[in-house]
Amino acid sequence: AGQDHEHESPHQDEYKIDEHDEHDEHGDNDHDHDQHAHDEHNEDEHGHEEDGHSDSVTIDALTAEQSGIKTAMARSGDIATTRRVFAKVANDPSQISHIGARFDGTIIQVNASVGDRVKKGMKLARIESNQSLHPYYVNAPFDGIIIERHANPGELTQDQPLFTLFNDNILWAEFKIFPNQMLAVKQGQDVIIDNEVFRIAHIIPNTSGGPYELARVRLDNHDHGWRAGVMVKGDVVTQRKTVAIRIPNQAMQQVEGNTVVFIKRDNEYTASPVTLGLQDHQFSEVISGLSINDEYVVDNSYLIKADIEKAGAEHVH
């Protein structure tokens, strides 16, 4: 990481010396020195102080905290090798119930309609038995939503389902695994969907005749964010490799065509070009440009980049 600082741009003072040389024959040396002092004064008025290099900036601790700039120490970690797969979200057959009357009779009262969310044990309807003439209730066997209703007061039960109850708190993503993926994708592996980690519960044959198997992933849908029939993509983690230095992808920025991270020493933040190795959806391996135990910016690194670019623009003008 120390070698990366050898590529820092010349000091602002060096630029100003060149300007003085151009004006020496006009006797403007005194004026230029006054302007130089004035520029230094202007820099001190900002919350950030540029130290004269185009790839570093100084930010006091309070300003950094208020700006949400967070740092971490460079450490080792795992990088995942993944396979991209696609799935269709499906209902869980065990969570669909066709609810009928226990004894034939007349429907006296109905308490639920299509679209109603009901709790386990809720009284859905009241039936008067033909045999005993005593009323009894039809209850919900589990939490869910009423998706069909075939019950109205005064009707006979006629040995048919009165309600269809669907519990959408549990859904399944059924990923198609084609022959060129079958050796790599296995039961129990992690699958990353929308930056959340799930697990392959089992792999079953495809009965529809297509040239693929189905890797099924259970989806917790208590917040009702998933919908049956929706297509989703996932990344199956087929291998993990431990690397010497691993950083989150959001720590990196592009500066003058280089991929950089910002190393913090005291209150100074310096852009250090890095060479990357393995990468996954969340992390990258750093081969050079960052050393173990270097403190670097992980959150809001774009603010450091903006400060450096702003300071560079002000210097040009």
Whether residue 64 is found in the same domain as residue 108: no
Q: Is residue 179 part of a domain?
A: no
Indicate if the pLDDT at residue 282 is higher than 50.
yes
Domain boundary among 166, 194, 220: 166
Domain boundary among 116, 148, 166: 166
Domain boundary among 117, 135, 166: 166
Write the CB contacts of 129 (distance below 8 Å, at least 6 apart in sequence).
103, 104, 105, 135, 136
Q: How many CB atoms lie within 10 A of CB 38?
A: 9
Q: How far apart are CA 234 and CA 80, in angstroms?
A: 13
Q: Is residue 87 part of a domain?
A: no
Q: How far apart are CA 220 and CA 168, in angstroms?
A: 9
Q: Is residue 50 part of a domain?
A: yes
Separation in Å, CA 141 to CA 29, 92, 109, 249: 92, 15, 18, 47
Write the CB contacts of 119 (distance below 8 Å, at least 6 apart in sequence).
140, 143
Q: Is residue 83 part of a domain?
A: no
pLDDT of residue 308: 84
Q: How far is CA 225 from the centre of its chain?
A: 15
Give the CATH number for residue 162. 2.40.50.100
Q: Is residue 225 part of a domain?
A: no
Whether residue 110 is found in the same domain as residue 136: yes
Q: Is residue 187 part of a domain?
A: no
Q: Is residue 260 part of a domain?
A: yes
Going by C-alpha positions, the residue among 119, 163, 162, 171 that lies closest to residue 143 is 119
Whether residue 46 is found in the same domain as residue 112: no
Whether residue 109 is found in the same domain as residue 138: yes
Write the CB contacts of 186 (distance below 8 Å, at least 6 apart in sequence).
200, 203
Residues 17, 10 contacting (CB under 8 angstroms): no
Indicate if the pLDDT at residue 1 is higher than 80.
no
Q: How far does the chain reach from its first CA to its final CA, in angstroms?
A: 31
What does the mean pLDDT of the chain come to? 84
Count of domains forming the chain = 2
User: 85-99: per-residue pLDDT in tens?
Assistant: 999 999 998 899 999
Going by C-alpha positions, the residue among 140, 139, 138, 114 that lies closest to residue 127 is 138
Please report which confidence band the pLDDT of residue 317 belongs to, taking 50, 70 and 90 as the band edges. Answer: low
5 HSE (CA, 13 A, CB side): 11
- Per the confidence metrics, is the pTM higher than 0.85? no
| Strand bridging mode 283-288 / 231-248 | antiparallel
pLDDT of residue 312: 65
Give the CATH number for residue 31. 2.40.420.20
Q: Is residue 200 part of a domain?
A: no
3-state DSSP call for residue 64?
A: helix
Please report which confidence band the pLDDT of residue 41 belongs to, taking 50, 70 and 90 as the band edges. Answer: very low
Q: How far apart are CA 163 and CA 145, in angstroms?
A: 10
Whether residue 254 is found in the same domain as residue 286: yes
User: 45-88: per-residue pLDDT in tens?
Assistant: 334 444 444 688 999 999 999 999 999 999 999 999 899 999 99
Which residue segment(s) compose the domain that 144 sits in? 93-166
User: 159-189: per-residue pLDDT in tens?
Assistant: 889 999 999 899 999 999 999 999 999 999 9
Low-confidence winner among 25-29, 179-183, 288-292, 312-316 (lowest mean pLDDT): 25-29
